Structure 1
């Protein structure tokens, strides 16, 4: 896939050819999740206007919401000062970004040396993805 020259030139990809990508709610600023992008994932995200990541476990492109319907529509794309992290401001369709059925992935907070769950499950994962045997 051909990519704009600025992507190859401006972004500092890691040794695996990936860059961390933060998804943030475009209206509230809430950080929803962090995933990884390859060059192809970033280019497809730009061209399709939706978040597309690289699944390190499956070694394949992953269109956010392809199974769950919880698509992330791209509103704005930024890179940080070191050009080694992507920030996507997104519209989170369905209000669920995490595979656990919560709004976002950062639902555990450290208090007094113990992790506490701060966010409730909106929808059970089995109801989103179906039961897997």
Structure 2
């Protein structure tokens, strides 16, 4: 028979997943998504607590589970992914050409080639490849 889970055990399972997900996607433009994920995790935990204690009032639940800022039990606090610091393209360097580093990009080492609409050689190669 499965043992009922307490709040601290659920937080120990959920927090590493939230932290890992936020750590993996912190290098993109994901601040709004982190905010939504924090909101969603908070409401899911709150619904789980309501199902666990159907007879408790909101005031009793708030006093019992809601810490100073977030849902907490036994000094375990629900991780908020919105607090993760987002870094944009930290290891980009001079490997990918942009309008700002076009003079510094090594043509042999660049992963992408900057082209314009008037680059007829490139347009010819692409159209030849597509046919």
Q: What TM-score range do you get, normalising by the shorter chain? A: under 0.3
Q: Which has the higher contact order (CA 8 A, sep 6+)?
A: 2
Q: Which structure has the larger Rg?
A: 2
Structure number with the higher helix fraction is: 2
Structure number with the higher strand fraction is: 1
TM-score w.r.t. the length of structure 1 is 0.18
TM-score w.r.t. the length of structure 2 is 0.18
